[in-house]
């Protein structure tokens, strides 16, 4: 392994360890010594990569943002219609929040002000608005739906699922999201479109087929 | 003013000051000296009422819980039907979150583990489930609605509005909630019931008529 490969690996270990410690203790109560112990990396090596805790938090957020954007992009390039891609994207993000501790820590840290601004939730809101506009062009939206109201309601709900899921993973289960879309889709989708949509997600573009 | 009245007033001042400092700095970065300064109360008097920061946080949460429960109870005893009382309760809570800094701080602190367990969000979920069951008995629910799915979706959405509203008060505006219910009610309410419901809230039971 070259020196550069080792540095990349160490950096990755530090980010993964930091996510675990942030998830357990929160940002303020996390100290860098605990992260270096957990990563099994010397404090010297840690300080080589991250001089301050804020930099480590930003790195966790950036990796989380990267994972979420990749998952959403995979779904976005699937051949499904816009509404199905919206459903699939929520399932993909929930799967990441359930299984990837960097994503879990990164989303919380981002809400607390670390990493890219404006935060992920705004980006998600914009993505939902675009998918609903695309669904409208595909003639998939129920005629009386306000795209603005629907986008806000779906943004708020999904933020709520993430927040509730921090204390109780049930909220992020495939069952919970399927039930959510089972309730929402009949209001959102035009009658003929409804039968073609799968509230449980199509798994197209999923990293966990 | 008797000694006891003074003590009650001082306690109230401390809770209000603590809420402001918690809202600005978060729990971990708040120190009791800043609270006593803001309340214009000696540190001796502060320690007479609250020996530890956790006790102060619990007092903020308890006062917030009291305010929210009172508002929800006022709505609950209004003559409106169950679905309208659900809409009205969300407007009443949003108004408190917009205007009452103790409620704002208390809800966040409660999510972070201070004050009564299980937390307010579970109590709110249960309240929504009861109102939907009542709406079913009143023949106000659309025939194909799953009460369980609807209750979870509404719980998640309203938690999301609260969380998003911390950074941007627009999410807690009457307009935002009216738009939310305008989107949800057609899916939730039986056809004939829909015309009798006001997504903007009826103001019955509101403390801010």
Instruction: Tell me the per-residue pLDDT of A88-143, one tens digit each, with 9 for 90 and over.
Output: 999 999 999 999 999 999 999 998 888 877 789 999 999 999 999 999 999 999 99
Q: What is the pLDDT of residue A36?
A: 96
CB contact under 8 A, A156 and B182: no
Percent of chain B whose predicted confidence (pLDDT) is above 70: 97
End-to-end distance of chain A based on CA atoms, in angstroms? 32
Half-sphere exposure of B131 (CA within 13 A, CB side): 29
Domain boundaries, chain A: 1-51, 54-209
Please state the rounded mean pLDDT for residues B124-147: 95
A118 strand-pairing partners? none
Burial of A115 (0-12, 13-18, 19+ CB in 10 A): buried
Half-sphere exposure of A149 (CA within 13 A, CB side): 20
pLDDT above 60: residue A14: yes
pLDDT above 70: residue B44: yes
Please state the rounded mean pLDDT for residues B45-70: 95
Q: What is the pLDDT of residue A3?
A: 86
Task: Give the position of tokens 């999510």.
Answer: B111
Chain A stretch 100-119, residues whose beta carbon is closer than 8 A to a beta carbon of chain B: 111
Please state the rounded mean pLDDT for residues B64-90: 96
pLDDT above 50: residue B107: yes
What are the DSSP calls for A129-156, one per residue?
A: HHHHHHHHHTT-B-TT--HHHHHHHHHH
Percent of chain A whose predicted confidence (pLDDT) is above 90: 83
Q: Which residue has the higher pLDDT, A1 or B122?
A: B122
Whole-number Å distance between alpha carbons of A129 and A151 = 6
Whole-number Å distance between alpha carbons of B129 and B133 = 6
- Give how far A58 is from chain B: nearest CA, Å: 19
Phi, psi of B141 (to 5 degrees): -85, 140
Q: Which residue has the higher pLDDT, B114 or A200?
A: A200
- Give how far A8 is from chain B: nearest CA, Å: 33
pLDDT above 60: residue A206: no
What are the DSSP calls for B123-144, one per residue?
A: HHHHHHHHHHHHHHHTT-B-TT
Whole-number Å distance between alpha carbons of A21 and A27 = 8
Residue B49 in tokens: 């009422």
Whole-number Å distance between alpha carbons of A158 and A156 = 6
From B93, B118, B120, B114, select the one nearest B15 (Cα to Cα).
Answer: B114
Whole-number Å distance between alpha carbons of A51 and A77 = 38
CB contact under 8 A, B159 and A164: yes
Cβ of A53 under 8 Å from any chain B Cβ? no
CB contact under 8 A, A183 and B156: no
Q: What is the pLDDT of residue A129?
A: 97
Please state the rounded mean pLDDT for residues B107-113: 90
Percent of chain B whose predicted confidence (pLDDT) is above 90: 83
pLDDT above 60: residue B108: yes
Whole-number Å distance between alpha carbons of B160 and A1 = 46
Cβ of A182 under 8 Å from any chain B Cβ? yes
Task: Choose the closest CB to A149 out of B29, B152, B183.
Answer: B183
Task: Choose the closest CB to A156 out of B28, B146, B164.
Answer: B164
Burial of B192 (0-12, 13-18, 19+ CB in 10 A): exposed
Split at pLDDT 50, 70, 90, the class of A207 is very low
**A-B interface: how many C-beta pairs under 8 angstroms?**
91
- Give how far A22 is from chain B: nearest CA, Å: 14
CB contact under 8 A, A153 and B149: no
Q: Which residue has the higher pLDDT, B91 or A208?
A: B91
From B96, B81, B177, B61, select the one nearest B135 (Cα to Cα).
Answer: B81
CB contact under 8 A, A161 and B158: no
Task: Choose the closest CB to B159 out of A121, A163, A182.
Answer: A163
Q: What is the pLDDT of residue B204?
A: 53
Please tell me whether residue B198 adopts helix, strand or coil conformation.
coil
Cβ of B122 under 8 Å from any chain A Cβ? no
Whole-number Å distance between alpha carbons of B71 and B207 = 7
**Which ranges in B112-203 belong to alpha helices (H)?**
120-137, 147-167, 174-188, 191-194
Q: What is the pLDDT of residue B208?
A: 47
Split at pLDDT 50, 70, 90, the class of B67 is very high
Task: Choose the closest CB to B183 out of A153, A160, A180.
Answer: A153
CATH fold for the domain made of B1-51: Arc Repressor Mutant, subunit A (1.10.10)
Whole-number Å distance between alpha carbons of B108 and B106 = 5
| Least-confidence region, from A63-67, A179-183, B113-117 | B113-117
**Which ranges in chain A belong to alpha helices (H)?**
3-25, 32-39, 43-49, 53-76, 82-99, 101-111, 120-137, 147-167, 174-188, 191-194
pLDDT above 80: residue A199: yes
From B106, B124, B4, B112, select the one nearest B59 (Cα to Cα).
Answer: B106
Sort out which chain A residues have CB atoms less than 8 A from B149's CB and list them.
179-180, 182-183
Cβ of B187 under 8 Å from any chain A Cβ? yes
Please tell me whether residue A35 adopts helix, strand or coil conformation.
helix
Whole-number Å distance between alpha carbons of B172 and B107 = 14
pLDDT above 70: residue B146: yes
Q: What is the pLDDT of residue B205?
A: 46
Q: What is the pLDDT of residue B72?
A: 95
Q: What is the pLDDT of residue B60?
A: 96
Residue B171 in tokens: 């999410």
Query: Taking a C-beta distance cutoff of 8 angstroms, is the pair B21, B30 a contact?
Result: yes
Architecture per CATH, domain B54-209, reads as Orthogonal Bundle (1.10)
From B104, B95, B107, select the one nearest B206 (Cα to Cα).
Answer: B95
Split at pLDDT 50, 70, 90, the class of B207 is very low
Q: Is the peptide bond before A118 cis (omega within 30 degrees of 0)?
A: yes
CB contact under 8 A, A149 and B28: no
pLDDT above 60: residue B209: no
């Amino acid at each position: 392994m070259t020196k550069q490969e080792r540095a990349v690996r160490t950096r990755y270990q530090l980010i993964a360890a930091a996510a675990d410690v942030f998830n357990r203790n929160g940002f303020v109560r996390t100290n860098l010594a605990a992260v270096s112990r957990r990563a099994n990396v010397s404090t010297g090596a840690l300080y080589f990569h991250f001089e301050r805790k804020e930099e480590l938090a930003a790195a966790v957020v950036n990796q989380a943002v990267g994972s979420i954007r990749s998952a959403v992009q995979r779904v976005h390039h699937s051949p499904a219609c816009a509404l199905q891609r919206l459903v699939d994207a929520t399932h993909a993000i929930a799967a990441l929040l359930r299984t990837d501790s960097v994503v879990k820590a990164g989303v919380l840290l981002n809400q607390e002000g670390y990493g890219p601004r404006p935060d992920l939730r705004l980006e998600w809101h914009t993505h939902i608005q675009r998918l609903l506009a695309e669904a409208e062009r595909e003639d998939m939206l129920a005629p009386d739906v306000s795209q603005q109201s629907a986008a806000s309601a779906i943004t708020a709900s999904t933020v709520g699922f993430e927040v509730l899921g921090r204390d109780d993973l049930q909220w992020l289960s495939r069952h919970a999201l399927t039930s959510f879309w089972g309730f929402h889709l009949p209001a959102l989708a035009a009658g003929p479109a409804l039968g073609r949509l799968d509230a449980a997600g199509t798994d197209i573009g999923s990293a966990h087929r």
